[in-house]
Amino acid sequence: MQLYYLYEGEGVTLRLNLVRFLRKNLLKSTFLFTFIEFFICVIAFFLSHNIFEHASFFVTLINATLFGLVVMIGNLSLGAQLNFKHRLSEYILRCSISVIITIVGMSLIYFLSPELNVGRKILFVSAIFALIGMTTVRFSLIKLLGRNKFYRRVLVLGAGERALMLSDTLKSDQTDFINIVGFIPFASDVHVRVHNDSLIEMPENFDFLKLCKRFDVDEIVYAVDERRKAFPMQALMNCKLAGIPVVNALEFFERDTKKIEIDMLYPSWLVFSDGFERSQITVILQRFFDILCSFIILCFSFPLTLTACILIKIEDGWSAPLLYSQIRVGLNGKPIKVFKLRSMSIDAESGKGAQWAQKNDPRVTKVGAFIRKYRIDELPQIFSIFKGDMSLVGPRPERPEFVGKLSDQIPYYGERHTIKPGLAGWAQLNYPYGATVDDAKMKLKYDLYYAKNNSVLLYFLTLIQTVEVVVFGKGQ
Instruction: Write the pLDDT tens digit of every residue in 184-193.
Output: 987 766 678 8
Average pLDDT for 19-42: 69
- Which residues have CB under 8 Å from 372's CB, separation 6+? 343, 364, 475, 476
pLDDT score for 247: 93
In CATH, the number for domain 151-257 is 3.40.50.720
| pLDDT band for position 174 (cuts 50, 70, 90) | low
Q: How far is residue 35's CA from residue 290's CA, in Å, rounded to a whole number?
A: 30
Report whether pLDDT(217) > 80. Answer: yes
Instruction: Write the pLDDT tens digit of every residue in 106-122.
Output: 988 888 888 888 888 88
| pLDDT band for position 146 (cuts 50, 70, 90) | low
pLDDT score for 12: 37
Report whether pLDDT(141) > 50. Answer: yes
pLDDT score for 4: 44
pLDDT score for 9: 40
pLDDT score for 40: 94
Report whether pLDDT(244) > 80. Answer: yes
Instruction: Write the pLDDT tens digit of every residue in 247-271.
Output: 999 999 998 888 999 998 988 888 8
Report whether pLDDT(132) > 90. Answer: yes
pLDDT score for 229: 65
Average pLDDT for 203-230: 84
pTM of the model: 0.79
The rounded percent of the chain whose pLDDT value lies above 90 is 42
Q: Which of 255, 273, 215, 256 is nearest to 239 (CA)?
A: 215
pLDDT score for 24: 46
Q: Where in the chain is the domain with CATH 3.40.50.720?
A: 151-257
pLDDT score for 230: 65
